[in-house]
Structure formats: structure tokens, C-alpha cells
Amino acid sequence: MSIPPFEVLQPESLQEACELLGKHSSEGAAVLAGGTDILVDIRRPIIPEHLPRCSGCDPKTLMPRKAVEKPPAYMVALSRIPDLSGISEAKNGDISIGSMTTITQICESQLVREKLTALAEGGDNLGSPLVRNRGTLGGNICNARPAADALVPSVALGAQLELQSVNETRIVSVSDFVTGPGRTIRKADEVLSKVIFPALPEMSGSSCIKLANRKALEISVVNVAAVLTLDKAGKISQAKVALGSVAPTPVLAEKAAASLIGEKPSDDLFKEAGKTAAGECKPITDHRGSALYRVDMVGILVKNALQKALERAR
């Protein structure tokens, strides 16, 4: 069996979940949402770790790549906690999405499709129907992969995260939350309860594009999310561009976004912004794509994403 044994705990309230996480933190306790990341990540390598590798092998790279240092002895499942899933719009237009909301629910929500198009499109690009039915927004964000298909648009849309622990509730921005591949500022006893997307002004539009070698079940070679707002004169008043798979975390291409402000949208403008964004990332070469290709594609995808966002803003 490649999945090591663990015990599943099923708290009925958020408070209880936080307590259990705190109580078992020394033995290792992980939050279990849809399980589509964590159950894959804790697999044991088929070839036992104690066997000596060849001198050229980096001892850290095992097969499969070991994503979790120590498999948790406990899984704290969120499935029985009421009110963790659902999508709602506040009076001020902020949209709040419960962390246990599945990717399918997000993709099927008219509200999200209309107001947070980039997130819906990111969701469309994620995995397959099976994975989308189980995988959650909270899981995608907390797993903190630089390519994550719901995380990258969340960064562009300026999502705020509500983190709940035994003693406190805090709100942090998603950009501050993710610190590295698989790494976040989440404390051991914290649960992400909801994700708040600040209302976008009138005349806003967003989009998300993924580049990969096939049309489903893919980890992006590059993914890009863009958000644009136009003023009454038709000039760009706000812009955000987020890049995935080009750095250890999703990146906000700030110079590219800044270059758009106050400008009249045009193909040339977007093309230049693409070039600027390409200069703002430092991807690596791995088996999914070379750094050169990725930089090249950032330029093209940013331009395309901005064009799509513009169509929707108008």
C-alpha cells in the first residue's frame, strides 16, 4: 500500500477542528478537505527511502517526489462542519466563498461566472469533473502550488482569507498567505474558513488562461489571470495580472499592471504589458517546460488574458 495509515477525526464544529489540530500537532495533524491533494502527496515512495541511492541522486528527490515531509498521523476532516461551503454576495458587493466549496460549485455558480470570471475559468481548467467534484477552493489555496488553478485567479482578484484558530480570527491577503511551493503562513491550529473577494467596480472584467500539453488533467506550463477596470472615458483605471508556474509562488506582475493604468486599451498596449510581465518572472526549467518557453508564453498569455478581460469589462 502506498498510502501510509492515518486516523481520521471528524469534528462537528470549526472550534473543535481547531482544537484537534492543536492537540495533535506534535504527532502531525492535517486538515482534510476533498483530499485530492493531500492523499496524493502523502504516498510513500515505492522504493523504500532507507535504501542507498546512487551518488548522483539528490537524496531529497525520491520517487514519487515527496511532497509531505512526515505523513500526518491524523487527518482532521472538515466535511461535518456546517456552513463551510457556499457562495454569497454581501451588500457591498464582496463575494464570500466558504473554504469547503467545491470547484464544481464555483464553476456552476452564475454569480461567480459573472463577477469573478477569472476564478470560474480557473476552475474550469482544474483537473477533471471527478477532481472538481471533490476538490475545494480552500484545498487549492492552502496547498499553495505555484500552478494552482484557483489560487492564481484568486491572487489576481485580490482575495482575502479568513483564518480561524482556537483563540482568534484573522484576515490575510492570499498573496501574503502563500510563501513558497506548498508553504503558507497558516499556523498548525488554523483552518481557512472562507475566502472573500472584494467587490470590483462597474466596468470590470477578468479572465484566466492555462497553457498545458493536453486539455484536461494538467499542471500548467504557465497560467495567467488578469483583471481590468475601465473608467468612464474607456481608459484603464485598475489592473491586476497574476502569473502561475513561473516562480515558487503565484506572482503579481506589478510593473505590467502599472503600465496599463490610465491608458486606452489596445493590442499594442497589451502586447507591451505581456513583454513587461515576461520580465517580471524567473521560471525554472523542468520536465514540463523550459524557462525560455515559459517566459515566451507569459508574454503571449498575458496579452490574450488582458484582451479577454477587456471584452468583459466593456
Ligand X SMILES: Cc1cc2nc3c(=O)[nH]c(=O)nc-3n(C[C@H](O)[C@H](O)[C@H](O)COP(=O)(O)OP(=O)(O)OC[C@H]3O[C@@H](n4cnc5c(N)ncnc54)[C@H](O)[C@@H]3O)c2cc1C
Q: Can you tell me the distance from the alpha carbon of 182 to that of 202, in angstroms, rounded to the nearest whole number?
A: 35
- What binding mask, one character per residue, do residues 57-86 give for ligand X by CB under 6 A, x or -? ---------------------x--------
44 binds, among ligand X, other proteins, none (CB under 5 to 8 A by kind): other proteins
CB neighbour list of residue 166: distance below 8 Å, 6 or more residues apart: 15, 18, 19, 22, 189
**What one-character-per-residue DSSP string does 213-261 give?**
SSSSS---SEEEEEEEEE-TTS-EEEEEEEEESSSSS-EE-HHHHHTTT
207 binds, among ligand X, other proteins, none (CB under 5 to 8 A by kind): none
Q: Can you tell me the distance from the alpha carbon of 266 to that of 66, in angstroms, rounded to the nearest whole number?
A: 45
Nearest residue to 182 (alpha-carbon basis) of 67, 33, 21: 67
Q: Which among 71-79, 210-218, 238-246, 260-268 is the span making contact with other proteins, rule CB under 8 A? A: 210-218
Are the CB atoms for 68 and 41 separated by under 8 Å?
yes
Q: Is 38 in the site for ligand X (CB under 6 A)?
A: yes
* Three cell numbers written together for 181: 511551493
* Three cell numbers written together for 265: 486599451
Q: Which among 111-119, 186-194, 243-251, 283-291 is the span making contact with other proteins, rule CB under 8 A? A: 283-291
Q: Which among 34-42, 86-94, 246-254, 291-299 is the span making contact with ligand X, rule CB under 6 A? A: 34-42
Q: Is 63 in the site for other proteins (CB under 8 A)?
A: yes
Q: Is 51 in the site for other proteins (CB under 8 A)?
A: yes
Note the residue count of the chain.
Answer: 314
221 binds, among other proteins, ligand X, none (CB under 5 to 8 A by kind): other proteins
Nearest residue to 136 (alpha-carbon basis) of 88, 217, 193: 193
Residue 74 amino acid letter: Y
Q: Can you tell me the distance from the alpha carbon of 24 to that of 274, in angstroms, rounded to the nearest whole number?
A: 47
215 binds, among ligand X, other proteins, none (CB under 5 to 8 A by kind): other proteins
- What binding mask, one character per residue, do residues 140-169 give for ligand X by CB under 6 A, x or -? x-xx----xx--------------------
Q: Can you tell me the distance from the alpha carbon of 255 to that of 253, in angstroms, rounded to the nearest whole number?
A: 6
Q: Which of 11, 71, 127, 146 binds ligand X (CB under 6 A)?
A: 127
Are the CB atoms for 104 and 87 separated by under 8 Å?
no
Q: Which of 26, 213, 232, 268 binds other proteins (CB under 8 A)?
A: 213
Nearer to other proteins, 103 or 221 (CB): 221
- Tell me which residues touch ligand X (CB under 6 A): 30-38, 40, 78, 99, 103, 126-127, 131, 134-136, 138-140, 142-143, 148-149, 186, 191-192, 217-218
- Tell me which residues touch other proteins (CB under 8 A): 1-2, 5, 40, 44, 46-48, 50-57, 61, 63-64, 128, 211, 213-219, 221, 287, 289-290, 293, 296-297, 300-301, 304
